[in-house]
Amino acid sequence: MPMLPPRLLCLLLLSGACIHHAPAATPATPSPQAAQASTAASPEPLSLPQRQELPLVLRETLTATMGRHGEELTFLLESVVFLRHDETEELARLLAEEPKLGRPGPGDKDSLNALLPDAFFVHQDQLTERARSLADAAKAKDVQGLAKAFGSLTETCVGCHAAYLHDELRHGEEAP
């Protein structure tokens, strides 16, 4: 695995870090809706609801993976928006190369992965492909390609979340 630049390593290690911006010359006054939303928001970080019908070990694995992806996406967003091409390339490649859950094989009715909807694995493959596209656009310093690739990557996230939350579980049924 390639050595990470010190700045990038610090970003990855600071899981609770916020994106810092220079202070505005005049403080912005939030709209009444924004002020109400911020007071009603819980102090806990946002997370996807869990599917209680899945075994605990699978829920915990998916929650950890999705949480990590959420943090990585935050860092990717910053690197894309501020045109930090080298950071974007490195982060996107790390995302593309991370280990994946194994797709259940024909006749697999006993593994935990056999419970997940087929669409989950389609989105998992798309995540790899689209993260590679983002890394390639960053390497080429292609600003338009960078924006499109990042948008496609986030479409994958939304699609995967929808499959996880709403698609019928296979319950160990035969894979098509």
Give me the pLDDT at residue 107, please.
87
Centre a 10 Å sphere on the Cβ of residue 98 and count the other Cβ atoms it contains: 14
Domains, in order of start, for the chain: 51-97+110-168 (1.20.120.10)
DSSP class of residue 6 equals H
pTM to 2 decimals? 0.69
Please check the confidence at residue 25 and state whether its pLDDT lies above 60.
no
pLDDT for res 23 = 35
Is residue 151 within 8 A of residue 122, CB to CB? The reply is: no
What's the pLDDT tens digit per position in 55-85?
Answer: 999 989 988 888 899 899 999 999 999 999 9
Q: How confident is the model at residue 138 (pLDDT cuts 50, 70, 90)?
A: very high
Mean pLDDT computed over every residue of the chain: 78
Q: Which residue has the higher pLDDT, 6 or 76?
A: 76
